[in-house]
Amino acid sequence: MDDAAARSTQSFRIETAVGSPRATAVAVLIILLALMLLPTFAGRNLIQDLIFLFYMLALAQCWNLLAGYAGLISVGQQAFVGLGGYLLFALTLIAGLNPLLAILLAGLVSALIALPTALIVFRLRGAYFAIGTWVVAEVYRLVFAQVKPLGGGTGTSLTPSVTSSVPGIEWVKTLLDVRAPAARDIVSYWVALALLAGTLAAVYFILRSRRGLALGAIRDHEAAAAGLGVDIYRIKLAVYVATAAMTGMIGALIYLQKARISPDAAFSVLDWTAYVIFIVVIGGIGTMEGPVIGAIVFYLLQRYLADFGASYLILLGTLGIVIMLFAPRGLWGLVADRYDLTLFPTRRRLIIRDREDG
Amino acid sequence: MLLEVAGLKKSFGSIVVADDLDLVVAPGEAVGIIGPNGAGKTTLFNLIAGGLAPTAGYFRFDGRDFTGVPLQGRCRAGIGRTHQIPQPFEKLTVFENLLVGAVYGRRKTEAAVAQSCGEILERLGLLKRANTLAGSLTLLERKRLEMARALATAPKLLLLDEIAGGLTEGECSELVATIREIRQTGVAILWIEHVVHALLAVIDRLVVLNFGRKIADGVPKQVMQLPEVHQIYMGIEA
């Protein structure tokens, strides 16, 4: 095809769209800074709510990358939330490590364990894969229920010496003049913010890289992507391991904040997978914006309706079904269709320019 | 030989869809395949470029045994294909569709392939649609995109599966002109087609399949004269 170059009178180049990179960077920094400074004037309730919102959104971004892009419909991500949580407890209570270091190590170990897990569940396809991941999570739960030093089936709590050993708590106490429990929340809030920002950045840069091109192709038509040279297995494996690492770190943070763990709670399919799927589906699967919208909607529902108990769950289910039926691309899909909006631009545009000498 | 298929057999249970097939394609050659519905034409493509594993026999591409090579390896080695029913990445733009093929099929960076992707889009008349979503294309445009995307992988052999079906006379002759241009760049072509006159305008050699067997292989005009070919095509093509 090289002779075509001589024939064409136009030159082409690629632009991965960000309207004005500098303005975007400034906006992102301002938002981050505002969120970082929020605890100086926000009440403790809001801070706790935001921690919840941040980790649910981070989990949703992970599941969206996994299911929405790589086509790996896992209903067993609670395996890595629970694993991360238990690793935090083991590393701090037994090994005596600093909780922040334990969160990082929890991510690393989750990735290492995800690798052999993937070799098993990747032998399954479609619905079998979904069920397989769930079974794996149950196996993890049963295994941790046998670990006596971590409380076995009834679970255990973090000692006050561990929860107060997170760096920065003393500093926050004196600086903001708050009591120890509030200071702990503020530090957890910052860690949650950092993990969320890290997850968003990681997912965004994956999607902008050449891997993202392949993931978009796999999302739309897996067989066609393979026929064009995309190594489907390798990319899926990479996504599975990377999301396991992120999910493990988020799980560690969740249980640092909760300070109490039990196998049933840590490996709960409802809390760590069903809600997360709900967030992604109502927001819009296969986009980065969808989980953001979904997490906010879920947070508001949870905040104002959770007191209704069973009716609340029935409402969640109904809402999920209605959106799947009438807006299969989620709430973000409704907006994006109308206004051609994007918060996380990953489009590659072809820029055409006439050649001077043409 | 660029492509050598020898003794290829494929059966689904008791249904034999490829029966002892032999086929060769030389570098730069254009070979047409015709045959009634269910003759095993698309199956042959799926054996060569798809994930389908043969029951017996083998095929070599560029001198290498390719029977067990995974899909992505076949593409990277230089086999490009289009599908009878176009399979665009609907939520990617037309340009991004090509990028997938160019980046992964040729193992290059996005920036390095932008120019050639633009040229392929220009050649196939899709340049104006470059930055629109592939999901919003018409059928004709989708067929062009199939071909553009296959070309983006820089194939040595291009497999075309009923690309002229459903096109108007004018669109068809445009397509024939495009395929002739592609040929001139040295790409070998293996083309399944029911629209025989479009096929005859391009190919050097014609192969006829029936019930998974090759019943003729030779100079197109002579093959079309054969009584058994006439018999099969009575009522299908004038």
- How many angstroms separate the CA of residue A46 from the nearest CA in chain B? 38
Average pLDDT, chain A: 90
pLDDT recorded at residue A59: 97
Q: Is pLDDT at A131 greater than 50 in this prediction? A: yes
Q: Is pLDDT at A1 greater than 80 in this prediction? A: no
Q: Where are the alpha helices (DSSP H) in A64-145?
A: 78-89, 99-121, 126-145
Residues of A in contact with B103 (CB under 8 A): 210, 213
Non-local CB neighbours of A243 within 8 Å, separated by 6+ positions? A62, A63, A65, A66, A77, A80
Residues of A in contact with B97 (CB under 8 A): 217
Distance CA A251, CA A262 (A): 13
Q: Between A172 and A197, whose confidence is greater? A: A197
Q: Is pLDDT at B40 greater than 80 in this prediction? A: yes
- Which 8-state DSSP code applies to residue B16? E
- How many angstroms separate the CA of residue A348 from the nearest CA in chain B? 7
Q: Are A10 and B122 in contact (CB under 8 A)?
A: yes
Which one of B71, B76, B92 has the shortest CB-CB distance to A220? B92
% pLDDT > 90, chain B: 57
- How many angstroms separate the CA of residue B182 from the nearest CA in chain A? 8
Contact: A12, B91; criterion CB under 8 Å: no
Q: Which tens digit of pLDDT belongs to each residue from A332-348?
A: 998 887 887 788 888 89
Both ends of chain B: CA-CA distance in Å? 33
Q: Which tens digit of pLDDT belongs to each residue from A149-195?
A: 998 889 999 988 888 888 888 888 888 888 888 999 999 999 999 99
- Which 8-state DSSP code applies to residue B220? H
Length of chain B, in residues: 238
Q: Which tens digit of pLDDT belongs to each residue from B153-186?
A: 999 999 999 998 888 888 899 889 999 999 999 9
Which domains, and CATH codes, for chain B? 3-78+155-233 (3.40.50.300), 88-149 (no CATH)
| Token pair in block for residue A282 | 């109502």
Q: Is pLDDT at A2 greater than 50 in this prediction? A: no
- Please name the amino acid found at residue A185: D
Q: Which tens digit of pLDDT belongs to each residue from A238-247?
A: 999 999 999 9
Contact: A5, B93; criterion CB under 8 Å: no
Q: Are A63 and A297 in contact (CB under 8 A)?
A: no
CB-based contact, B222 to chain A, within 8 Å: no
- Residue (of B53, B42, B50, B45) closest to B12 by Cα position: B53
Distance CA B197, CA B204 (A): 13
% pLDDT > 90, chain A: 69
Q: Are A217 and A225 in contact (CB under 8 A)?
A: yes
pLDDT recorded at residue A170: 86
Task: Give the residue-averaged pLDDT of A43-63.
Answer: 95
Average pLDDT, chain B: 90
pLDDT recorded at residue B236: 52
| Token pair in block for residue A77 | 């991500």
Q: Which tens digit of pLDDT belongs to each residue from B180-230?
A: 999 999 999 999 998 889 999 999 999 999 888 898 899 998 988 888 888
pLDDT recorded at residue A23: 81
Q: Are B46 and B75 in contact (CB under 8 A)?
A: no
Residues of A in contact with B90 (CB under 8 A): 220-221
pLDDT recorded at residue A7: 57
Q: Is pLDDT at A3 greater than 60 in this prediction? A: no
Distance CA A111, CA A113 (A): 5
DSSP characters over B173-219? HHHHHHHHHHHHTT-EEEEE-S-HHHHHTT-SEEEEEETTEEEEEE-
Which one of A7, A210, A228 has the shortest CB-CB distance to B149? A228
Q: Between A336 and A300, whose confidence is greater? A: A300
Q: Which residue of A has its CA nearest to B99?
A: A213
- How many angstroms separate the CA of residue A341 from the nearest CA in chain B? 14
Contact: A347, B99; criterion CB under 8 Å: no
- Please name the amino acid found at residue A149: P
CA distances from A129 to A113, A277, A344, B136 (A): 17, 16, 30, 32
Which one of B95, B127, B149 has the shortest CB-CB distance to A348? B95
Q: Are A342 and A284 in contact (CB under 8 A)?
A: no
Which one of A5, A11, A210 has the shortest CB-CB distance to B103? A210
Residues of B in contact with A349 (CB under 8 A): 93, 95, 131
CB-based contact, B125 to chain A, within 8 Å: no
CB-based contact, B115 to chain A, within 8 Å: yes
CB-based contact, B185 to chain A, within 8 Å: yes
pLDDT recorded at residue A157: 92
CB-based contact, B93 to chain A, within 8 Å: yes
Q: Which of A211, A222, A228, A337 to mutate to test the interface with B (most CBs of B within 10 A)?
A: A228
DSSP characters over B41-68? HHHHHHHHTSSPPPSEEEEEETTEE-TT
Q: Between A161 and A230, whose confidence is greater? A: A230
Q: Which residue of B has its CA nearest to A12?
A: B115
- Measured at the CA of A222, the angle between CA A216 and CA A227, to 5 degrees, comes to 105
CB-based contact, B233 to chain A, within 8 Å: no
Task: Give the residue-averaged pLDDT of B108-121.
Answer: 93
pLDDT recorded at residue B115: 93
pLDDT recorded at residue B140: 87
Domain boundaries, chain A: 41-268
| Token pair in block for residue A241 | 């391991």
Task: Give the residue-averaged pLDDT of A281-294.
Answer: 94
